[in-house]
Structures are given as C-alpha cells and as structure tokens.
Structure 1
Amino acid sequence: MPPIALPHDAKAGPTKSEVRAVVHSKLALEADDHFAEVGSCTGAITIEAAQRAGRVTALERKPERLETTEKNLAANEGSITADIELRNAEAPDGLPDDADALFLGGSRNFEAVLDHAVATEIDRVIMNVSRLEVAGKATEAFRERDILEEVVQFQVSHGYELAGATSFHSDNPVYMLVGSATPDEAAAADDSKTRGSR
C-alpha cells in the first residue's frame, strides 16, 4: 500500500509510520471489520484503517483536531474503501457497540474505554503509550479486566548524515498494549462443563 498523505498538521503530530505498521499488523483488519479509534488527531491511523476495514468510527474530543482528521481523509479519499463516521466526542461517549477492533491513541479516560471494550466484547484492543507511568497504569488496567495478551516496547531511529557518515535521531519509545475482550470460547466451554457436572 502506498504511503498515506498527511498534508494537514494537528500539532500533536501523527503516529509514526513504523509504529502504524505494527498497530495495523496487530489489528489484522479485514474488509468486514468495524474499526473504532479514540483520539484520531491527524487521522493517520484512521486513514490506514479505512483502507482495510469495512467501517470506521473515529472519535476526537478536540474540534480543531477533528477538522484536521477530515482534511487528511479528504487528501486520501482515492485509497479509502470504508464507510467512515467521525464523531466529536470524548470517549467512552460516542463509541460504537459493535466494533471488532479498537485503537486508543490517547490516555484520557482509558479505564472507561476499556470497560466499554469488555462490555461490548471487542475482539482486538490496542493502546499506544509513550509515558512510562501511564504504561504501567494501562498494563494494570488491561490485566484487571483480563484482556491483556502482550506488551510490546519498541523504538524507531532515523538516520541522518553527520560528517560524511550516518548517525541516528531516536523517536520516543512506544509501549503498545495488545489485548482482546472477546471471551475465550474454549474457557467458556470448560466452565460450562464444570458447572454441568456439579
């Protein structure tokens, strides 16, 4: 897939392309999926999800950032196949009840967003965090809800020329929490057998 265009800036900056590649690898979106995003900002994740999923619902609490999402979506409309709905809302308000996959790009109200994910049994839940303290709290929140599958920490560095050689600028490390709020069918079947044998 060709790189997406992000001609409009939301000041917070987009999720880096290398990080987006990992996000979408973990989300494994398919044409019949409904993808939801909390904190669309520049729309980078939204746009790439809209190239893969059938439906996309993107929430952004700041109207000016939602406008940036809209402009960047328009700049990529030729490559977008999904039905997209943008909502000016602060999650968990505005989240759909039928999402298959969820990405949290911000840390505000993440516990309530995870509660929504559990209540609506969202199959794939990913949260990116750049601050260590928030990463710890988010990891505990995923564990408390029994939805944590893995935590990935990675850092990307980009080369630049320095005195005729290559040196590197490092981007902030990213902590990625990956989980699922879909009940484990095998465990549910075992529980059912156990209850039936009492």
Structure 2
Amino acid sequence: MKDELFLRGEKVPMTKEPIRALALSRLALHRATHFIDIGAGTGSVSIEAALLNPSLAITAVERNPAALRLLEDNRLRFDCPNITILEGVAPVSIPRLADAVFIGGSGGNLTQLIDWSLAQLHPGGRLVMTFILQENLSAALTHLAACRVRALDCQQLQVSTLTALGTGHYFKPNNPVFVISCEKETSDARHN
C-alpha cells in the first residue's frame, strides 16, 4: 500500500511502504489467526495486515494519544473491524496468544518487550522488529542470542525515492532501517 493512503500526523511514526512489505512478509500472516502490533503508530502495519488477511484478529497496542486518534481514524478509513486497538504501554495484558508479533517501537524497554513478545507467541510464532538506531539493533541481537529462538535473520534496508529537483530528478535517501525476524522455538526444538 502506498504511504500516501494513510492519514498522517507530524509526530506520529509510520512504518514506510518498503519496510512494511518486508516486515509483513517475515511475519507470515497468511497462516496466522492472531497478530499483535506493538507501537502501532498510524496503524500502517496493522491495517495492511488486516486488508491482506481479513479473518486475522489483530491487536494494535499504542500509548501516544495523537497516534491512537490516527490509528482509529485509519482503522475506520480502511474499514478494518478485525483490528482491536489497545491503549497502553507494552507489556500489557493480552488474554490470547499470538502467531506473530511486530515491534515497531520499544519506548526504551527493548529487552523487556522482546521477552514479553516471545511469551505472547505460540511455539513457532514469528517475531519481527524494525529499528533505525544501531544501539537498538545491537541490544536486540545480543538479547535474542540468549533467547529460545530460531531462524534469526537481520537485514538493513536503504531506500531512496526519485524526487524532482529543479528541472531534474535525484534519488532522495531515507534513513537505513534494520529488520530483525525470528521464530519462537517449539517445545521439542532442543531435542532434534
């Protein structure tokens, strides 16, 4: 989905289209029944997931009041009744385990969020995170090395967009983004 389709706010973050495409691919939502989006922002990941998977139950967690308003406006704009918006700071109580969790913002509690996210997943469930800060990347990779995960993968994406400049064009660069994905180990994974 094009980023321009979403209602936006000045200080509300949004996972951009190329990053969102990779994150959604890594989440493997086509076989999921419940998905949790942490730090949902404008709701771009939740909404695209909902439109691609109409039977998927989605819990979008957000703490910022401005983001909550945009998230609700976008949910209504795209008619996504399968998204439940949960106001709060993760970790929060979610009564149902998920098949996939996306962390788009950590609010400074990254390792706690990783542990909580893994506890929210069924065995074999997918965890995907995006970062722009190298310190968060390093902290996440170090922490995940001590967790019961498999299929750990990390990619850095640098996307540039063709932009008019005077009578010509150039490729305007966006910030590089790190995308980490992994699966929660199944209970018998250590016995194989």
Q: TM-score, normalised by structure 1?
A: 0.83
Q: Which residue of 2 aligns with 1:153?
A: 156
Report which of the two structures shows the higher radius of gyration computed on alpha carbons: 1
CA separation of 1:163/1:62 partners in 2, compared to 1, >3 Å: closer, same or farther?
Answer: closer
1:133 aligns with 2:135: yes
> Which structure dedicates a bigger proportion of its chain to strand?
2
CA contact (8 A) 1:103 1:125 kept: yes
- Kindly tell me: are residues 55 and 10 of structure 1, through their superposed partners in 2, closer, same or farther at Cα, counting changes over 3 Å? farther
**Deviation of 1:139 (Å):** 1.2
Native 8 Å contact 1:50 1:56 kept in 2 = yes
Q: Measure how far apart 1:158 and its partner are.
A: 0.4
**Matched residue, 1:39:** 39
Whether 2:171 is the aligned partner of 1:172: answer no
Structure 1 position 26 matched with structure 2 position 26: yes
Which amino acid letter does the alignment assign opposite residue 160 of structure 1?
T
C-alpha separation in 2, matches of 1:171 and 1:147: 30
Of structures 1 and 2, the one with the larger relative CO (CA 8 A, separation 6+) is: 2
Q: Could you tell me how far apart the structure 1 residues matched to 2:118 and 2:36 are?
A: 14
- AA aligned opposite 1:105: G
Question: Do the aligned partners of residues 10 and 83 (structure 1) sit closer, same or farther apart at CA in structure 2, a change above 3 Å counting?
Answer: farther
| Cα deviation, residue 163, structure 1 | 5.2
1:162 aligns with 2:169: no
Q: Following the alignment from structure 2 to structure 1, what is the Cα–Cα distance between the partners of residues 85 and 94? A: 11
Gaps of 5+ in 1: 191-198
Match of 2:83 in 1: 84
Shift of residue 113, structure 1, vs aligned partner: 2.0
SS, match of residue 66 in structure 1: helix
TM-score, normalised by the number of residues in structure 2: 0.86
Q: Give the alignment's Cα RMSD to 1 decimal.
A: 2.1
Shift in alpha-carbon separation, 1:36–1:75, aligned structure 2, 3 A: same
**Mapped contact 1:92–1:113 kept (Cα < 8 A):** yes
- Cα distance 1:163–1:8, how it changes in 2: closer, same or farther (>3 A)? closer
Taking the aligned partners of 1:146 and 1:169, their CA distance within structure 2 comes to 40
- The equivalent of 1:14 in structure 2 is 14
How many positions carry a matched residue from both structures?
Answer: 185
Distance 1:110 1:6 in 2: 27
Q: Which consecutive residues of structure 2, in runs of 5 or more, have no partner in the other structure?
A: none
